[in-house]
Amino acid sequence: MTTLRVSCASFLLLCACGDDGGGPDPVERDAAAADTGAADTGAADTGAADTGAADTGAADTGAADSATPACPDLRPSGAPELVISKIDLATGQVELFNPGASDLVLGDHAWCVRPAYPDVASTGPTTVPAGGYAVYTLPAEITLDPAGGELALYSSGPFGIPDNMLDYVCWGTGKGSPNRATEARDGAHWTGSCAPAPTAGAIVRLPETGGVSADSYDTTATFSPTACD
């Protein structure tokens, strides 16, 4: 019995003081994770700056005003009611200009290249607009020689009366007999020598000229109907 008590006592002592086999009592760490919530990394407002293209709408590059130009006035004040503005010797086309403020309806107006006297209205439009142009084609009975010729325009007959002549043009050597050169000079429709023989097939009246002498005409131009308004 004695031995058992010692052993028991020793056992109790060992139980009270002995190593429990565990490591030193560690300091209890705050197991709760430190507040590691990500810092507010919401992307900074990177909404693209207003890069809407600057107003680069093309500058108004529309073609410069291409409206039809105003018709040139081919004769100063005192012009007759119709003026011969261009002649195409090859095709027999003749352009007339109306310097008046009102449309001109053709009546007894006639071309004259002796011995032919065709009505103007039978060769093209019956009306020439105010301040505008109209193109006519001479009939086959009239031929225009580039080396020399003439063309007269009358308001009516009789054709031997200078006052009935509206306009007259001669070129090169002029027209051989019969012609209307005398009536043209007597009626102050022409003075001096004829215009030079055309080099490009046409005779073109120059703007703001009297139309009664050679220096009123360009005989180096080609024929092109006047485009104006």
The residue type of 113 is V
**pLDDT at residue 7 tops 90:** no
Output the six-digit token pair for 117: 């006297």
Res 38: pLDDT: 45
Give helix then strand counts, H and E, for the chain.
2, 10
Measuring CA to CA, which residue among 160, 143, 166 is closest to residue 87?
Answer: 143
Residues 69 and 63: their CA atoms lie apart, in Å, by 15
The helix/strand/coil state of 211 is coil
**pLDDT at residue 154 tops 70:** yes
Give yes or no for a contact between 183 and 160, defined as CB atoms under 8 angstroms apart. Answer: yes
Q: Compute CA distances 42 → 38, 39, 45, whole Å.
A: 10, 9, 9
**pLDDT at residue 60 tops 70:** no
**The model's pTM:** 0.70
Beta-carbon neighbour count of residue 131 at 10 Å?
18
Res 65: pLDDT: 52
Mean pLDDT value across the chain: 79
**pLDDT at residue 78 tops 50:** yes
Which residue ranges make up each domain of the chain? Answer: 83-218
**Predicted confidence band of residue 25 (pLDDT cuts 50, 70, 90):** very low
Output the six-digit token pair for 20: 């429990």
| 191 class by beta-carbon count within 10 Å (0-12 exposed, 13-18 middle, 19+ buried) | exposed
**pLDDT at residue 77 tops 70:** no
